[in-house]
Amino acid sequence: MDRAIRSRAEALKTHFETAGAQAIETSILQPAEVLLDLYGEDIRARAYVTQDPLRGEQMLRPDFTVPVVQMHMAHGAEPARYTYAGEVFRRQEQATGRASEYVQVGYEVFDRANPAAADAEVFSLISAPLAALRLRAVMGDVGLLIAAVDGLATSEARKNALRRHIWRPKRFRALLERYSGTSPIPETRAALLASADPFAGAGLEIGLRSRTEIKDRIEALREDQKAAPLAGQDVVQINRLLSIKGRLPHALAALGELSRELTAIKPAVAQIQERAQAMVSRNINLDEIEFEAGYGRSSMEYYDGFVFGLYSDDAKLPPVATGGRYDALTRVLGQGVEIPAVGGVIRPELVIALEAKA
């Protein structure tokens, strides 16, 4: 690690320790089989994976949050606050010029007392040491879209499919169009589902899936055909939701207006309002925060609520800091036990680079 980056990383970690965080470390080598499914498609595609003869498939650490949650759910007391600093590793396309190894300094909060206050705490502590850089703050809440999907008048199978693809915007939109009937079923699929014997004429090789798996999939698709199409108004409302963006106070007003029709999102909107009030209590200017209802859908799949990023004016640079809430991740790694959790990370090398340009 470069000396200047190491020094800045240590300073940032000390900043979080002063706020009450316990400094921890996690192994650079992590078990791939368990953890890869918890990341988004982008991270899974860029992970460095290797086979260890004793420990099975392993990967170089692509981030800290998942191993920190795993550690906390196995051994941690609550409430808890952690900080860390170290390298993460992600493959990059050569044309991007982005580093495949870089440093993250993070702050994670496990506290069930007041989630809105914890969100504001994390955002405040992450953004405070970066204030001189005048970064652009963007926020969202994945919980809005999750709530909208939960409230749809459709089959549970269709809701599950939409939930799985919340973090894949193109696939999510394609499913919405298919379920609403605006996008017809491909002719080849329609013919397959209408056939009395879908395997007729098939050879011995039917791909990587077993004949039973294929049969189950065909039956699921046939069952899906029986479901009534999504109401056009439901699709319109979801599209309205995803189009909401602007300064946080204005976006909140728009969300409040939409929630009178799309009532399923009312609890999520109330959480955003409570979070905004907690931020005001920390002297955060809401007028300086951009809110996008669809923000965070191309980041980590374990974020299921509040998400944020801090960006420079240089569009070629990745975000200087990112973070979010990942309550469901604690349930997955806690084997049924869960605790509200939120955190964020800073990339110190980007901080140094931007300071040099100032």
pLDDT digits (tens, 9 = 90+) for 82-122: 999 999 998 776 655 677 889 999 999 999 999 999 999 99
Q: Are residues 174 and 92 in the same domain?
A: no
Pair 255, 293: CB distance under 8 Å: yes
Hey, which of 50-64, 242-256, 290-304 has the most confident mean pLDDT?
Answer: 242-256
- Average pLDDT in the chain: 88
Q: Are residues 96 and 125 in the same domain?
A: yes
pTM greater than the 0.85 cutoff:
yes
Q: Are residues 130 and 152 in the same domain?
A: no
Q: How confident is the model at residue 228 (pLDDT cuts 50, 70, 90)?
A: confident
Q: Are residues 140 and 65 in the same domain?
A: no
**pLDDT the model gives residue 273:** 98
59 strand-pairing partners: 30, 49
Is 283 within a domain? yes
Q: Are residues 74 and 46 in the same domain?
A: yes
DSSP state of 197: -
Whether residue 318 is preceded by a cis peptide bond, meaning omega within 30 degrees of 0, is no
Q: How many angstroms separate the CA atoms of 217 and 2, rounded?
A: 52
The two beta strands, 56-60 and 29-31, are antiparallel
**pLDDT the model gives residue 224:** 62
Instruction: Give the range of the structural domain holding residue 200, as residue numbers without chain letter.
Output: 185-228
Q: State mean pLDDT over 253-281.
A: 98
Q: How many angstroms separate the CA atoms of 345 and 129, rounded?
A: 12
Q: Give percent helix, percent strand, percent coil of the chain, each to the nearest 5.
A: 50, 20, 30
Q: Are residues 198 and 306 in the same domain?
A: no
Q: Are residues 106 and 223 in the same domain?
A: no
Is 351 within a domain? yes
Q: Are residues 64 and 109 in the same domain?
A: yes
Q: Are residues 172 and 281 in the same domain?
A: yes
* Of residues 352, 355, 339, 354, the one with CA closest to residue 74: 339
